[in-house]
């Protein structure tokens, strides 16, 4: 149902941000959104939207006004039954959010995960050597960006080997399901029951290896930090949010380097830049493009009053390209300080897995920069469309060794 227009004082837009053309290249639409004002009303979905950095950042840090418990997709859980049991992290507000978040923040903390680094470095080097042994042309998405997280992350969680092929399709569907019920969601629907059941079996205590993230979450339940009912759902969050995101984050940084050879040369001169490079790629590409919030009270933003209980779409990708905040935002530039980008969100929900993602990225970039002098795109690139993710299907590349 669409609200009568007389009650809406925001600039109106008839665009569909989840349409084929905008998913293929969201940047022109995002520029229009930022130009139209701090808040825009999207008629097609009867929701508000924000595309400028300051307002997106402010909303992300004000969880009291911009709640998550009514869902961070288009669907408003106040009126619609969620398609799966809501995430205890993503789709929760304080106080319910706090215990699961505290447990996961500790398990995925920068010091706590340091023990993974050496084994991952060896895995990355082996993956790169095996790939280069086959030739200097490959697909940076399937052969690297997907292959590396799938090689290290499921083992780090401690799930069984069988059924790992369900991780990417399940994540793809979850991220589509935050959007409107369009053809991308319909495409995933036939497998939802099968994929959900497969993911659920991986969250049980007895299938997990003894010292992975999964077992550590069960240990937190044993200590009473979370309940036994919460443990499997928190593990589900790792399996949902930890794979497609890192795959597309790695694809983003590889694409950025393939199209900015001067920046690759800089990385090779100073390998310590690998972490900056990854965050700059997350800013530049914003693998997670959007999330919704729901207003918990009437709130005025830039002269527009958004009534209580309404959905508002935050364009993380647009905020990360806002020229009001970033100098030369459309450049992938290792000399900028990308910190403050909202590609991992901000505030109490900011990506709890970001240190794991950064470690994966730094590890694979280090392995590549040791062996590869230059990377170029060697054929037609193909985007993968998803209602939430800025994703890649294929990135054919040619590398020179040296």
Q: Omega before 95 cis (within 30°)?
A: yes
Least distance between ligand OVV and beta carbon 386 (Å): 12
Nearer CB in complex with ligand OVV: 66/332: 66
Q: Which residues bind ligand OVV (CB under 6 A)?
A: 87, 89-90, 174, 237, 240-241
Q: Where does residue 205 rank: exposed (0-12), middle (13-18), buried (19+ CB within 10 A)? A: middle
Least distance between ligand OVV and beta carbon 74 (Å): 14
Nearer CB in complex with ligand OVV: 73/212: 73
Q: Report the C-alpha dihedral over residues 60, 177, 88, 53, rounded to 10 degrees.
A: -10
Least distance between ligand OVV and beta carbon 55 (Å): 21
Nearer CB in complex with ligand OVV: 240/263: 240
Helix/strand/coil (H/E/C) assignment for every residue in 253-279: HHHHHHCCHHHHHHHHHCHHHHHHHHH
Least distance between ligand OVV and beta carbon 184 (Å): 15
Task: Give the number of other CB atoms < 10 A from CB of residue 43.
Answer: 16
Pairing state between β 311-315 and 47-50: parallel
Nearest CA-CA partner of 314 in 77, 129, 55 = 55
Nearer CB in complex with ligand OVV: 70/367: 70
Least distance between ligand OVV and beta carbon 303 (Å): 31
Radius of gyration of the chain (CA): 21
390 beta partners = 385
Helices first, then strands: H and E counts in the chain: 16, 13
Nearer CB in complex with ligand OVV: 121/192: 192
State phi, psi for 362 to the nearest 5 degrees.
-60, -40
Least distance between ligand OVV and beta carbon 292 (Å): 12
Nearer CB in complex with ligand OVV: 234/334: 234
Least distance between ligand OVV and beta carbon 89 (Å): 5
Nearer CB in complex with ligand OVV: 257/315: 315
N-terminal to C-terminal alpha carbon distance within the chain: 60
């Amino acid at each position: 149902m669409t609200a009568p227009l007389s009650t809406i004082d925001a600039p109106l837009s008839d665009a569909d941000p989840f349409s084929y053309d905008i998913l293929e290249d969201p940047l022109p639409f995002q520029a229009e959104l930022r130009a139209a004002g701090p808040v825009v009303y999207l008629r097609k979905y009867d929701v508000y939207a924000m595309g400028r950095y300051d307002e997106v950042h402010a909303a992300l840090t004000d969880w009291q006004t911009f709640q998550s418990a009514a869902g961070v997709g288009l669907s408003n859980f106040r009126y619609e039954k969620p398609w799966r049991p809501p995430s205890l992290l993503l789709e929760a507000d304080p106080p319910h959010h706090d215990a699961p978040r505290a447990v996961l923040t500790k398990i995925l903390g920068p010091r706590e995960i340091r023990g993974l680094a050496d084994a991952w470095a060896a895995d990355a080097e082996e993956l790169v050597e095996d790939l280069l042994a086959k030739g200097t042309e490959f697909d940076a998405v399937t052969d690297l960006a997907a292959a590396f997280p799938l090689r290290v992350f499921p083992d780090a969680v401690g799930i069984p080997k069988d059924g790992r092929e369900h991780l990417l399709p399940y994540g793809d569907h979850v991220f589509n399901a935050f959007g409107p019920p369009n053809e991308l969601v319909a495409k995933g629907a036939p497998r939802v029951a099968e994929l959900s059941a497969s993911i659920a079996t991986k969250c049980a205590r007895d299938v997990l290896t003894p010292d992975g993230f999964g077992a550590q979450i069960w240990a937190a339940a044993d200590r009473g930090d979370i309940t036994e009912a919460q443990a499997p759902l928190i593990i589900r969050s790792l399996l949902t949010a930890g794979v497609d995101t890192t795959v597309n984050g790695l694809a983003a940084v590889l694409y950025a380097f393939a199209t900015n050879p001067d920046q690759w040369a800089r990385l090779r001169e100073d390998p310590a830049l690998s972490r900056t490079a990854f965050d700059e790629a997350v800013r530049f590409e914003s693998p997670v493009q959007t999330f919704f919030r729901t207003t918990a009270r009437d709130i005025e933003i830039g002269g527009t009053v958004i009534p209580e209980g309404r959905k508002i779409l935050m364009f993380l990708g647009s905020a990360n390209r806002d020229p009001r905040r970033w100098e030369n935002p459309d450049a992938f530039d290792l000399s900028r300080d990308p910190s403050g980008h909202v590609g991992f969100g901000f505030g109490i929900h900011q990506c709890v897995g970001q240190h794991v993602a950064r470690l994966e990225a730094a590890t694979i970039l280090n392995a590549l920069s040791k062996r590869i002098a230059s990377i170029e795109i060697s054929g037609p690139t193909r985007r993968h469309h998803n209602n939430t993710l800025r994703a890649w299907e294929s990135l054919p590349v040619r590398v020179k060794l040296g």
